[in-house]
């Protein structure tokens, strides 16, 4: 195991045997050291026209909608989903297409995450398919293929990191807790972005650090400190040549120094002058986290428990910091006797019926 624990996150969601056997072939499946074939890569890019209507309905979601309108739109999506798909197999195929479209369209991806992470949506199934569980499965598939995706299609890789970071930021259990097992995979992806020294990767790195840095500091303080030291090393090295790229790295350090919140007026003005008003407006436009209610009767999630401890994290010092507005947790109390079906004791969610090393890293 690596000293920091990052890079050992494969298998952070292990499904039960029945679901694993019945699942469609993993998108972008590739063995270690091999490039994705053209056919495999196309599965990440092509969306079937037969599900375009369903995709368009998801596009109608809007972060600015009030709660009533947003829930009405979700209900409309679900009703049409049930009509468009006649059985669970069709639901799975449709979700593959939706997810593939999200990997080509980050705006669609944000809206899908909004829907799946919403409190009302998590209790819903479509023809006995738990949509949230399917989403987590595809996130894991993308994470397992991350190195090959980054090599063969950097845009698809960045969009998969965007999906992972958005869901980690928004999704909550009914008691307000985040899905802690996702911190390690996200940090692994952030390191991969940083290592490329490419402008678009560094923009996404800094945006995700602003969005999730406070939570990552709570879950993995030592690992996050190492990542920030790597940012400093990148700034003094020769690999990052573009001025704009260095500015995004410098902004990442300022974000961390300001407890991952909004920048003071004078620092904000500096970056607006250097990066442009539009870039900074996009950077600081982050939606609030959503509360997720885990249904007590969802048997697919009931059996999950930790099998491997990836990170042993002591209670970190908080330095008196308060979470920035985009990372405030829900204060809605959980229903009485409601179990938290996702184990929060380590970096994994797993089913005890399968080996914990299914996704071991070589």
DSSP letters of 261-317? SPPPHHHHHHHHHHH-HHHHHHHT--PPP---PPPTT-HHHHTEE------------
Q: In CATH, what number is assigned to the domain containing residue 300?
A: 1.25.40.180
Q: What pLDDT shows up at residue 194?
A: 97
Q: How many domains does the chain have?
A: 1
Gap between the Cα atoms of 98 and 92, Å rounded: 10
What are the b/e assignments for 185-219, b being 16+ CB within 10 Å?
Answer: bbbbbbbbbbebbbbebbbbbbbbbbbbbbbbbbb
The tally of CA atoms less than 13 A away on the side-chain side of residue 333 is 3
> Is 2 among the domain residues?
no
> Is 357 among the domain residues?
no
Gap between the Cα atoms of 291 and 56, Å rounded: 25
> Is 360 among the domain residues?
no
| Helix pair 131-144, 154-170: axis angle to 10 deg | 140
> Is 185 among the domain residues?
yes
Residues with Cβ within 8 Å of 233's Cβ and at least 6 positions away in sequence, in order, are none
Q: What pLDDT shows up at residue 49?
A: 54
**Parent domain of 285:** 17-351
> Is 361 among the domain residues?
no
pLDDT tens digits for range 24-77: 333 333 333 345 555 555 554 444 456 999 999 999 999 888 889 998 999 999
Identify the CA nearest to 295 among candidates 81, 90, 133, 103. Answer: 133
> Is 5 among the domain residues?
no
φ, ψ for residue 350 (rounded to 5)? -150, 165
Gap between the Cα atoms of 51 and 53, Å rounded: 5
Q: What pLDDT shows up at residue 212?
A: 97
**Per-block mean pLDDT, blocks of 10 residues, the chain (362 long):** 43 43 35 47 50 94 89 92 94 96 96 89 84 94 96 97 96 83 97 97 97 96 98 96 96 96 90 93 64 37 32 33 40 34 36 29 26
Q: What pLDDT shows up at residue 56?
A: 95
Q: What pLDDT shows up at residue 325?
A: 40
> Is 33 among the domain residues?
yes
φ, ψ for residue 37 (rounded to 5)? -75, 165
> Is 327 among the domain residues?
yes
């Amino acid at each position: 195991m690596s000293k920091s624990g990052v890079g050992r996150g494969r298998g952070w969601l292990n499904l039960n045997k029945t679901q694993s056997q019945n699942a469609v072939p993993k998108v972008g499946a590739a063995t270690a050291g091999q490039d994705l074939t053209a056919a495999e890569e196309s599965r990440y890019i092509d969306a079937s026209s037969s599900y375009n209507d369903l995709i368009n309905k998801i596009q109608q979601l809007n972060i600015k909608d009030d709660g009533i309108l947003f829930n009405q739109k979700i209900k409309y999506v679900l009703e049409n989903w049930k009509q468009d798909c006649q059985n669970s197999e069709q639901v799975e195929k449709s979700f593959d297409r939706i997810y593939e479209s999200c990997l080509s369209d980050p705006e669609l991806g944000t809206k899908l995450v909004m829907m799946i992470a919403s409190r009302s949506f998590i209790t819903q199934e479509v023809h006995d398919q738990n949509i949230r569980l399917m989403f987590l499965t595809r996130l894991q598939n993308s994470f397992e293929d991350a190195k090959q995706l980054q090599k063969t299609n950097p845009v698809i890789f960045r969009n998969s990191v965007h999906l992972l970071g958005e869901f980690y930021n928004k999704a909550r259990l009914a008691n307000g807790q985040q899905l802690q097992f996702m911190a390690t995979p996200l940090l692994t992806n952030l390191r991969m972005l940083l290592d490329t020294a490419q402008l678009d990767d560094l923009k996404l790195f800094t945006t995700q650090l602003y969005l999730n840095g406070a939570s990552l500091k709570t879950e993995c303080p030592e690992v996050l400190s190492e990542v920030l030291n790597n940012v400093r090393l990148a700034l003094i090295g020769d690999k990052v040549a573009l001025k704009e790229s260095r500015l995004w790295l410098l902004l990442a350090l300022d974000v961390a120094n300001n407890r991952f919140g909004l920048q003071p007026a004078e620092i904000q003005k500096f970056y607006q002058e250097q990066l442009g008003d539009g870039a900074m407006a996009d950077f600081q436009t982050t939606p609030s986290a959503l509360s997720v209610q885990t249904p007590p009767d969802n048997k697919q999630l009931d059996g999950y428990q930790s099998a491997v401890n990836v990170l042993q994290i002591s209670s970190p010092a908080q330095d008196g910091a308060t979470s920035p507005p985009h990372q405030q947790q829900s204060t809605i109390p959980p229903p009485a006797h409601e179990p938290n079906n996702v184990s929060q004791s380590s970096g994994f969610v797993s089913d005890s019926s399968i080996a914990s090393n299914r996704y071991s890293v070589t």
